A and B are shown apart, each in its own frame.
Chain A
Amino acid sequence: MSSASAAVNWNPMIVGFIAGFISRVLYLRSGQSHNPGYPSGYIIQIAIGVIAAMIGSSVIVSLIGKEFTAATFLTLAATQFFNVRTNERHTLEQEESLILVGRGAGYIEGIALTYEARNFLGMLVALATSVVTAWNLWLGMAAGLAFVILGEVFMAGPKIGELIDVEEAEVKFDKGSLLFVGPVMMMEVGLPDSRQRFLEDGLGVILKPRDTRGESALWNIAQRQAIAHQAAVAVGVQKDVGYPEQTPLCRMEMPKGTGLAGLAIIPVERNLEALIKAIRNTPVLESGKWSKMHNTKNKKEAARG
């Protein structure tokens, strides 16, 4: 080893590792809905986070020590992190048939993607911090803090509450069996028994898009499934196997196509504030994020007055 005689400067590795690890752990805390929520899930993510931060922080030390083989092996180790997404997706897909209100494929993909991205972000933060620390220790510490904060800011995806307004609406039946939430027709409920459940215990909210981004997010079917899932997680849902018509639904106002959406749910805990808060905190899915559309009907109405 060429570096054995010379004193190795461990500072870049230590500072870089700490910054990268903090960057990973911070998101485990803040991303409530993205978490398995049980200790074993945390252990797995923390272990992978430790490895990611170590890989990122040790590259620059190996390069300074002219250990190019070691640096190459580290990039090889980084490719292992592509499996994180697959593993997470598998777990959530297995869960899908076991939970009453599914997350939907779009939401699952988003969560899995976030898990993978967070590990690479931890690696990048560790690498960038160790590069600066190799130059100056104190500057490196400051840079590490800045990178962690920057990562947090950029990775905090928009919430649906920033794009739409959520308001309470009346749950009612029209033409005998058509379930309505405000002006939005949800579905046809054939059983008198289920209709009574909706009238007695049902809660309804209207989702009003603020702008074109909010509207395109709502037209996305995966986004609405994610909203229904978050709503059911927050207030519970009176549903079991054999009661498919009591599934919470989120539907657009059709056939008018005004961009308005309605959500009907039979909650266990009748708490409207919790329901609205959960819907507003649903993350905007990547698949519906940037496609901007312009609802010509709304434009005409706006032009009219």
Chain B
Amino acid sequence: MADSPAPTMFAIVTTNKEAVVGGMAPVFVACNDVERDRIAMWLSRITNAIVHDLHNGTVILTVNRS
């Protein structure tokens, strides 16, 4: 519920492979920013996840678990 969201990281989309190490979420590597945003949007629409930009070439997708 929207009252107290507990976000879990669902996926990582990046153009900068070196910025992401390990972790529990799958990492999608894109060749440029446009492709990164496209992949992020598709994943978001499919999985109902929220996209957050970390401004280092990486965006993360989080899902709010109730």
Chain A residues packing against B (C-beta within 8 Å): 96, 101-102, 104-106, 175-177, 188-194, 221-222, 225, 228, 241-245, 247
Contact = CB atoms under 8 A, between A and B. Distances in A.
B2 A247 contact: yes
A243 B50 CA distance: 8
Interface in B17-64: 37, 40-41, 44-46, 48-53, 55, 59-60, 64
Nearest to A222: B3
B1 A96 contact: yes
How many interface residues does chain B have, given as a range? Answer: 20 to 34
Contact of B48 (A106, A188, A225, A241): A241
A242 B46 CA distance: 6
A104 B48 contact: no
Nearest to A247: B2
Given A242-B44, A243-B45, A190 B3 contact: no
Contacts of A245: 44, 50-51
Nearest to A178: B53
Contacts of B59: 190
Contacts of A102: 1-3
Given A191-B40, A193-B41, A176 B53 contact: yes
Given A177-B55, A242-B45, A105 B3 contact: yes
Interface of B: 1-4, 37, 40-41, 44-46, 48-53, 55, 59-60, 64
A105 B52 CA distance: 27
A190 B53 contact: yes
A104 B1 CA distance: 7
Nearest to B66: A97
B53 A105 contact: no
Contacts of B49: 244
Q: Which of B50, B59, B64 has the most CB of A within 10 A?
A: B50
A104 B55 CA distance: 32
B60 to A, nearest CB: 8
Contacts of B52: 188, 190
Contacts of B48: 241-242, 244
A98 to B, nearest CB: 13
A32 to B, nearest CB: 22
29 contacts: A96-B1, A101-B2, A102-B1, A102-B2, A104-B2, A104-B3, A106-B3, A175-B55, A176-B53, A176-B55, A177-B53, A177-B55, A188-B53, A190-B40, A190-B51, A190-B52, A191-B37, A191-B41, A194-B51, A221-B4, A222-B3, A225-B2, A242-B44, A242-B46, A243-B45, A244-B48, A245-B44, A245-B50, A245-B51
